[in-house]
Amino acid sequence: MSINRLVEIGKSALFTAQQAISVTGHNIANVNTPGFSRQHITLAENRPENGSPGQIGTGVHAEAIRRSFDAFVEGQLLASRERLGEFTASSNALARLEPLFGDANNLGIGAGLNEFFGALQDVATNPNDLSARTVFLSKATALAGRFNQAAADLTAAQDFLDRQVGQTITDVNRLTSRIADLNAKIAVAESSGQQPNDLRDQRGVALAELGELIEVSSIEDATGQLTVSAGRGHVLVDKERTYQLVAIPNSGNNGLLDVHYGVGAGATTSLTSVIQSGRLKGLLDVRDQTIPSLRASLDTLASEVVTQVNQQHRLGFGLDGSTNQDLFVPTGTTASTIAVSLANVRQIAASSTAGGVPGNNANALALAGLRSQDFASFGNVTFQEYYSTIAGNFGSITQGVDGNLKAQEILHAQLTSQRASISGVSMDEELANLLQYQRSFEAASRMIVLADEMFQTILSIKR
């Protein structure tokens, strides 16, 4: 073997060690980069030369730089992020509704009902006391106000969630455009024989973020490009082409936004009913199911309060002899419209007969008795029991979502840990590799110096 060949072997070892150190340094630099997959260099011998007594090696080269990656684990993580996005969105949305049931602080409708009937009992105890009547009228106004506030809070929460739906659709479109752009770059790199590890990691991060927003599935073709679909096979990304989601107001749902899929030429198809997971699913469930259900239940309660109280109140007589008076506005039979009609405390119909004014309290007692009366429209329960059922059902939904969220967080943490064991950067391992490649670099340098010394020796012989 010639001395030049020794120099070439040393040079190949030197350059290869330098490349390995660069890969190790890249891993160390990205130890905290989200979605980064640890890279490793694959070494292979150079093609040997024929010689005597046999083939002689010609050095080493870096055959490939690959990333540590497990497609199965990544798929599980993507599915986990979809469910995590759904439960997180639902939990946050439901948390905005919890103040509706502030009865522990005497701020809710249940507490308002108790105060209303308590003040009514005070009127029955002393029907000619104007101060008791004034307190009762204020409690009736306060009860109506709590219904009104609950309805307003539900509307505000629904509007907020609707804006979140619109923003999420924008985010989905941004991420699909990002994936399509990375698809193009990856295809160009791989067509030239390169291994775009960092581009694939970036695309993986974008896909994971997309999965957190909406249920997705993906297929990679021979060129390394992804086809990404949402819902039931609706393609969002086809290599370098994207299909946008569109937010369209639904006139049949109070103008709230529906999620539509753009298929070209202005035509769209609704995806709202087929989205199975992700942030959009959580937002839509609370906006279109939980809030309308709560509103309907509160409307039923308000309607029954207005109907039953007015019906009984009209049978009595006030201090001024008035009768057939409504306590609440008869047309205000929803939580948002319930209001007190009576303004004159003397017209509160505590008496059952005109002749019994002011001492007769029979009608006030009948009104107070509504507190413990069962109503068929509620399923044969009282006002308070029906309200407690509403609060209990909401609490059950909230606990279920929070329980699912906690379980999913535990599963996601386990999958994240599993991914870290496969794709994560271990500083101890990288420092050991760095030391190993440093020694290889030093040895290769020494080989080149040795070849030079041998060459100088040969030159000195010629002299």
> Which pLDDT value is given to residue 342?
92
Q: Which helix (H) or strand (E) holds 149?
A: helix 130-191
Confidence (pLDDT) at 264: 55
Residue 275 CB neighbour total at 10 angstroms? 24
User: How high is the pLDDT of residue 274?
Assistant: 82
Residue 128 CB neighbour total at 10 angstroms = 16
| Structure confidence at residue 357 (pLDDT) | 66
Backbone angles phi, psi at 457, to 5 degrees: -65, -45
- Given this model, what pLDDT does residue 103 score? 67
What pLDDT, on a 0 to 100 scale, did the predictor assign at position 349? 93
Query: Which conformational region is residue 321 in: left (phi greater than 0), alpha (psi within -120 to 50 degrees), or beta?
Result: left
3-state secondary structure of 227: strand
Instruction: State how far the alpha carbon of 163 is from the alpha carbons of 158, 169, 382, in Å.
Output: 9, 10, 38
Do 399 and 81 contact (CB within 8 A), yes or no?
no
Q: What is the pLDDT along the chain (463 residues), one digit of tens a residue?
A: 577 788 888 899 999 999 999 999 999 999 999 999 999 999 999 888 887 777 888 889 999 999 998 999 999 999 999 999 999 999 999 999 988 887 667 778 999 999 999 999 999 999 989 999 999 999 999 999 999 999 999 999 999 999 999 999 999 999 999 999 999 999 999 888 888 999 999 999 999 999 999 999 999 998 889 999 987 778 999 999 998 899 999 888 889 999 988 765 555 788 888 888 999 999 999 999 999 999 999 999 999 999 999 999 999 999 988 999 999 999 999 999 999 999 999 999 999 888 766 678 999 999 999 999 999 888 899 999 999 999 999 999 999 999 999 999 999 999 999 999 999 999 999 999 999 999 999 998 998 888 878 878 887 876 6
Peptide bond before 127: cis, by omega within 30 degrees of 0?
A: no
This prediction's pTM: 0.87
Q: At CB < 8 A and 24+ separation, what contacts does 67-71 make? A: 67/37, 67/38, 67/39, 67/40, 67/197, 67/200, 67/201, 67/423, 68/37, 68/38, 68/39, 68/40, 68/422, 68/423, 69/37, 69/200, 69/422, 69/423, 70/419, 70/422, 70/423
Predicted pLDDT at 76 = 93
| Whole-number pLDDT of residue 52 | 75
Here the tokens at position 398 are: 């909230």
DSSP readout, 282-351? HHHHIIIIIHHHHHHHHHHHHHHHHHHHHHHHTTSB-TTS-BS--SB-TT--STTT--B----GGG---B
Q: How far is 218 from 221, CA to CA, in rounded Å?
A: 10
Could you tell me the residue ranges of all domains in the chain? 3-68+427-462, 77-411
